[in-house]
Amino acid sequence: MRKPLIAANWKMYKTPAEAESFLHAFLPLVEGHTRNEIVLCPSFVALAPVLAAIKGSAHPAHPHPRIHVGAQNMHFAAEGAYTGEISAGMLSALGVTHVIIGHSERRQYFGETDELLNRKLAAALEKRLIPILCVGETEQEREQGKTEEVLSRQIGRAISQIEPGKLEPMVVAYEPVWAIGTGKTATPLMAADAHLMIRTHVAQLVGRPIAEALRILYGGSVKPDNATSLLSQPEIDGALVGGASLDPASFARIIQ
Ligand code: PEP
């Protein structure tokens, strides 16, 4: 059984104070929820305030699920002269448990390559962070019939040289680039199809048991009104949510 994971990617939104007020409204809405693993990925400056707010709100009479906190990016080196960067060890020392690797906005605007993401993935796993590796084709690649080729290449290069036994915590997010922030969503069948391609390819690379246990999330304009049909596909093990995760009521509805 794969535990569904619903993650919020807040991108470059929310100050620490705004993140705290989100939690104030959000936590009561998910009180007692156990079905999904819930992960919030705020900006770097809001990580510590979010962790503190979650801890501070814990109350035996009002149990909320353990809310996990993830970063949106990290550097592959343990430390060093990399001005402006943050390492996996720093995140983990803060109490961060997850990290998004290779979001298409990082690939597109910051030139992140599959080879760079391979180093980040290895470093995250080394520090026992749960990496959420994002893959996905552009609209043009889909129209040219290259979806499977792109997904296989992105996955293959990202996990290259990493011992299969170490990959177990990894989560993959299938995020078609044409569906991110556009309001266009892959149909549940299109998404399930792509997830199956990913799982089949992972099985070929590192074996069936790892592929069967791998959680594959869908991301791309997930909203409260399309979440149920997407998440009811057996191949879809959760969602990575951008825009609709910024509002506590809408993110809670997706989780419910
Ligand atoms: C994302 O940024 O990962 C994402 C899926 O964004 P949106 O939900 O806004 O499409």
List the structure tokens of 26: 């959000």
Active-site residue flag, 103: yes
Burial of 195 (0-12, 13-18, 19+ CB in 10 A): buried
Q: What is the mean pLDDT of residues 121-138?
A: 98
pTM exceeds 0.85, yes or no: yes
Ligand 1: which atom is nearest the Cα of residue 103?
3
User: Is the pLDDT confidence value at 93 over 90?
Assistant: yes
pLDDT category, 62, cuts 50, 70, 90?
low
Q: CB count, 10 Å around CB of 149?
A: 13
For 45-75, letters b (16+ CB in 10 Å) and e give ebbebbbebbeebeeeeeebbebbbbbbbbb
Q: What is the mean predicted confidence (pLDDT) over 36-61?
A: 91
Mean pLDDT of 111-117: 98
Average pLDDT value for residue range 52-71: 82
Probe target for ligand 1 pocket from 240, 245, 246, 247, with the most ligand atoms within 8 Å of CB = 240
Report the distance separating Cα 204 and Cα 70, nearest Å.
Answer: 29
pLDDT digits 0-9 by tens, 33-44: 999 999 999 999
> Ligand 1: which of 105, 133, 175, 182 to mutate, most ligand atoms within 8 Å of CB?
175
pLDDT at position 63: 65
Task: Say how many C-beta atoms besides its own lie within 10 A of residue 86's C-beta.
Answer: 17
For residue 4, which phi and psi values (nearest 5 degrees)? -65, 145
Ligand 1 atom index nearest CA of 100? 3
Q: For residues 154 and 107, is the Cβ–Cβ distance under 8 A?
A: no
Quote the pLDDT of residue 108.
Answer: 97
Closest C-alpha to 90, from 102, 73, 78? 78
The answer on pLDDT for 16 being more than 90 is yes
Ligand 1 center to 181 CA (angstroms): 5
The beta-strand segments (E) located in the chain are 5-9, 37-41, 67-71, 98-101, 130-135, 171-174, 215-219, 238-241
Tell whether ligand 1 has an atom less than 6 A from the beta carbon of residue 243: yes
| Ligand 1 atom 2, closest CA | 242
Domain edges within the chain: 5-255
pLDDT > 70: percent of the chain? 98
Identify the pLDDT of residue 123: 98
Q: Quick check: is 24 catalytic?
A: no
The pLDDT-based confidence of 57 (bands split at 50, 70, 90) is confident
Residue 165: the pLDDT is 95
Q: Is the CB of 221 under 6 A from ligand 1?
A: yes
Catalytic residue among 105, 137, 175, 235: 175
Rounded mean pLDDT, 36-59: 93
* Per-residue model confidence as pLDDT tens digits over 205-238: 999 999 999 999 999 999 999 999 999 999 999 9
In CATH, which superfamily holds the domain spanning 5-255? Aldolase class I (3.20.20.70)
**If you measure from the C-alpha of residue 111 to the centroid of ligand 1, how many angstroms do you get, rounded to a whole number?**
19
Q: Given a cut of 90, is residue 59 above it in pLDDT?
A: no
Residue with the nearest Cα to atom 8 of ligand 1? 242
- Would you place residue 66 in the very low, low, confident or very high pLDDT band (cuts 50, 70, 90)? confident
